[in-house]
Amino acid sequence: MMTAIGQQTAWIKGAGAHCANEKPSARQVWRLVVLGPPGVGKGTQAELLCERLGVCHLSTGDVFRACRSLPPQERAPAINAALELMQRGELVSDQVVMNIIRERASCLHCGGGFLLDGFPRTFAQAIALDALLQQEGLTLTAALNYVMNLDEIVTRLAGRRTCAACGASFHESRRPPRVLGVCDSCGGKLCQRDDDRPEAVRVRMQAYQASASPVVAFYEKRGLLRSIRAEGLPEEVFRKTMSALNGTILS
């Protein structure tokens, strides 16, 4: 299954574009949503799940990052609307976000399945996604909810350092650079983002809980929620994830 951003043409560009990975898969098809606050390692788990299960990683963050570099005429209408709102410093509404997903509905039919990352973020988005999947004749396998104690999240994010030049990410204790304060990749200066400071992280977590709690409850009510403790090494968390998915461990 090809999941590199450059090969996800339909996901990046939206309506009318096609990927090279649309053939049906011979193995079990997983259709997953990944939930969890910043700092719990969702990105790492998404990479592992896509690699091991063969699912296509559908990240809304990838769409926004990639589309910023595309000329406006190559972007689908909904992403243009979202980028215009962001440039004005306004919030992107649930309706606009849902329009972005609808423009990419063909990706939900990927033969190897999908993992939605960064969506849904609100109760309204979860309701709209449920309706879209029903309309497309698709069934969600599970919603993976990664959970961690607040103090651990604060520690993880407060120790994160980002290169001001190339954007590479390091951590003071978990992934330190070879030279303190210097990026291994390009030699740029490593900085702490303002929103990674402990006091800012706690405010972000409050905002996350307010929007995410109804989403978690939505999937729990439907019997789709799989909550996974996110402490430990990535492989340990992945094993817990696969155990939560009906105990199926793929080699």
Neighbours of 138 (CB within 10 A): 15
- Predicted confidence band of residue 80 (pLDDT cuts 50, 70, 90): confident
**Structural domain harbouring 238:** 5-148+224-244
DSSP states along 109-157? G-TTEEEEES---SHHHHHHHHHHHHHTT----EEEEEE--HHHHHHHH
133 within a domain of the structure (yes/no): yes
> Tell me, what's the pLDDT at 79?
82
pLDDT digit string, tens, across residues 118-136: 899 999 999 999 999 999 9
168 within a domain of the structure (yes/no): no
Find out whether 182 and 200 touch, Cβ atoms under 8 Å. Answer: no
CATH number at residue 126: 3.40.50.300
166 within a domain of the structure (yes/no): no
65 an active-site residue? no
> Tell me, what's the pLDDT at 8?
64
pLDDT above 90 as % of the chain = 56
Picking from 42, 194, 39, 12, the residue whose alpha carbon sits closest to that of residue 106 is 12
Cβ within 8 Å of residue 15, ≥6 positions away: 76, 103, 104
> Tell me, what's the pLDDT at 76?
77
Q: What is the mean pLDDT of residues 65-83?
A: 79
Q: Which of 13, 31, 42, 156 is catalytic?
A: 42
pLDDT averaged over every residue in the chain: 86
Q: What is the mean pLDDT of residues 43-50?
A: 91
pLDDT surpassing 70 at residue 4? no
Euclidean distance between CA atoms 212 and 149, whole angstroms: 15
Q: Which of 52, 121, 229, 239 is catalytic?
A: 121
Number of separate domains in the chain: 1
> Tell me, what's the pLDDT at 18?
53
56 within a domain of the structure (yes/no): yes
121 an active-site residue? yes
Euclidean distance between CA atoms 136 and 149, whole angstroms: 37
Q: What is the pTM of this model?
A: 0.82
72 within a domain of the structure (yes/no): yes
**Which residue's structure tokens are 């879209």?**
132
User: According to the per-residue pLDDT averaged within each range, which of 58-67, 143-152, 241-250 is highest?
Assistant: 143-152
pLDDT surpassing 80 at residue 19? no
pLDDT digit string, tens, across residues 217-239: 999 999 999 999 999 999 999 99
Euclidean distance between CA atoms 136 and 118, whole angstroms: 20
Assign 211 to helix, strand or coil.
helix
pLDDT digit string, tens, across residues 156-197: 999 999 998 888 889 898 889 999 999 999 999 999 989 899
pLDDT digit string, tens, across residues 135-146: 999 999 999 999
Q: What is the mean pLDDT of residues 101-120?
A: 91
102 an active-site residue? no
> Tell me, what's the pLDDT at 250?
44
- Predicted confidence band of residue 65 (pLDDT cuts 50, 70, 90): confident
106 within a domain of the structure (yes/no): yes
Q: Which of 156, 160, 226, 240 is catalytic?
A: 160
Q: What is the mean pLDDT of residues 94-112?
A: 90
160 an active-site residue? yes
- Predicted confidence band of residue 85 (pLDDT cuts 50, 70, 90): confident
140 within a domain of the structure (yes/no): yes
27 an active-site residue? no
128 within a domain of the structure (yes/no): yes
Neighbours of 240 (CB within 10 A): 19
Q: Which of 102, 204, 229, 239 is catalytic?
A: 204
> Tell me, what's the pLDDT at 239?
95
